[in-house]
Copies of this chain bind each other. A is one copy, B any other.
Amino acid sequence: MERIKPRTLSGFMELLPAEQMKMEAIMAALRESYALYGFYPLDTPLIEASEILLAKGGGDTEKQIYRFTKGDTDLSLRFDLTVPLAKYVALNYGSLAFPFRRYQIGKVYRGERAQRGRFREFYQADIDIIGDGKLDIVNEAEIPSVIYRSLTKLGLTRFVIRVNNRKILNGFYAMLGLGDRAGAIMRTVDKLDKIGPEALQELLITGETALTPEQADEILRFIAIRGGNAQVMEALEAYRGRNTVFDAGLEELAAVTGCLADFGVPETHFAVDLTIARGLDYYTGTVYETTLRDHPEIGSVCSGGRYDNLAGYYTDKALPGVGISIGLTRLFYVLQEQGMLSDSLPTAPAEVLVLPMTRDVAFAARVATALREAGVRAQLYTEQKKFKAKMSYADRLGFPFVAILGEDELAAGKLSLKNMKTGEQQLLSPEQAAETVRRAIAETAEEKPIRG
């Protein structure tokens, strides 16, 4: 038979089983965290009509999109989870109750240039809260709590949720008479981390923003405002009363920072950061970025913001919302590269490998069944191999326990439960074994997928 060399497309992540177990643990933790806040899980098609996905049109998106025809239908693979959400909400407006909270963890597709750490198929893990006409500011204040709990649950400890408000930026630039150049200025200021304040000042003067030295100074002073929440808010108060948009933004920011402690977010993990604007044009209020303290080079691992109009391309209903997104595949890749995935998270496919040493598989089947009835994951291994090969299989897959069933065990109706870590071996009934394993599971249940 002519054979075809098996391969997986470049830019498509496909994990080995143990790594997949870690990815599953991450996704399960996110699902659980999101659900704690009352977000519905949602699932939308990977394929949509191109006219739907490209309603906004233009830009890099259109170049990167996977677009094709089937029959005479012009189809595209989704490139994010936001556009399908917009379609979903517009389409099902009459059947949904608002605010509508949903999370979605799903694959999206972008035909980026293939390079290490860049993916063409990748998971996004999104949450959004959509209002009907209006959406209370408290929803924006709650988002840092979702981020904090989710990342903490994953095992991350040293991260900062950085928050800004577009109204503050827009209002501030309007104060300086630079309202028409606000977008260009934000794009330039976004380079601060990369080029430093001096080069930024130069660029603000000589670049597309064409500011006067005084204006550039003013901006640099503004974005240099730092410190604890109280300090930052106080510094911002000095600008109050000069622009209504700025003042509105300040009120919103005060509402967000004011609720943090009540929402369980420690101030150590939060910072107002006036340099953040987020590239996307549709953010209109609070914006979020989350960076790892020890790995700022990764950039933001969880970003989003408030938008005034989710679905303007599909409906005349005003649907304001707030949402965040985690680029899960890239995050996983980076954590793996940085050695930040936990080694102690169990990655075996079950807790117990049941190893019959005799041909009496009926007894082995009964033992495996009894363990499963008791909620213990058990794999039955009946291949005709030497004992050493069987134990090596157990080792290789990292089973925490092996149930050995020899003649003696069969005669006693018991099993020898071997703890693979300690080497300890006990003759137990299936029920006793299940209890022992359950206790051990409970001890590792709090094991987190990421080493913070």
Q: Could you say which of B4, B20, B111, B378 contacts A70, with CB atoms under 8 Å apart?
A: B111
A422 at interface, CB cutoff 8 A: no
Question: Is A379 within 8 A of B95, CB to CB?
Answer: no
Query: A387 to chain B: which residues have CB within 8 Å?
Result: none
Once A3-B316, A4-B314, A91-B6 are accepted as A-B contacts, the answer to whether A377 and B38 lie under 8 Å apart by CB is yes
Query: A37 to chain B: which residues have CB within 8 Å?
Result: 350, 372, 377-380
Question: Is A17 within 8 A of B96, CB to CB?
Answer: yes
A369 at interface, CB cutoff 8 A: yes
Query: A111 to chain B: which residues have CB within 8 Å?
Result: 70-71
Distance A7 CA – B262 CA, assembled complex (angstroms): 41
Once A3-B314, A262-B362, A264-B369 are accepted as A-B contacts, the answer to whether A91 and B45 lie under 8 Å apart by CB is no
Chain A residues 319 to 338 lying within 8 A of chain B, measured CB to CB, are none
Question: Is B38 within 8 A of A362, CB to CB?
Answer: no
A366 at interface, CB cutoff 8 A: yes
Query: What is the oligomeric copy number?
Result: 2
Distance A141 CA – B366 CA, assembled complex (angstroms): 13
Counting chain A residues whose Cβ lies within 8 A of the other chain, the interface size class is 35 or more
A12 at interface, CB cutoff 8 A: yes
* Chain A residues close to B by CB (< 8 Å): 1, 3-9, 12-17, 20-21, 23-24, 35-49, 51-52, 55, 66, 68-71, 73, 75, 86-88, 90-92, 95-97, 99-102, 107, 109, 111, 121, 131, 134-136, 138-139, 141-142, 145, 149, 258-259, 262-264, 311-316, 349-350, 353, 361-366, 368-369, 372-373, 375-384, 393, 396-397
Q: What are 22 inter-chain pairs, A to B, with CB distance below 8 A?
A: A4-B51, A4-B55, A7-B49, A7-B52, A8-B48, A8-B88, A9-B47, A9-B49, A14-B43, A14-B44, A16-B95, A20-B42, A36-B372, A37-B378, A38-B349, A66-B70, A68-B68, A136-B383, A138-B380, A145-B365, A259-B361, A262-B363
18 A-B pairs besides A4-B314, A38-B350, A66-B68 with CB distance below 8 A are A3-B313, A3-B316, A6-B88, A6-B91, A6-B311, A7-B49, A9-B75, A14-B88, A15-B43, A20-B41, A20-B42, A20-B43, A37-B372, A40-B349, A46-B46, A66-B70, A68-B69, A138-B364
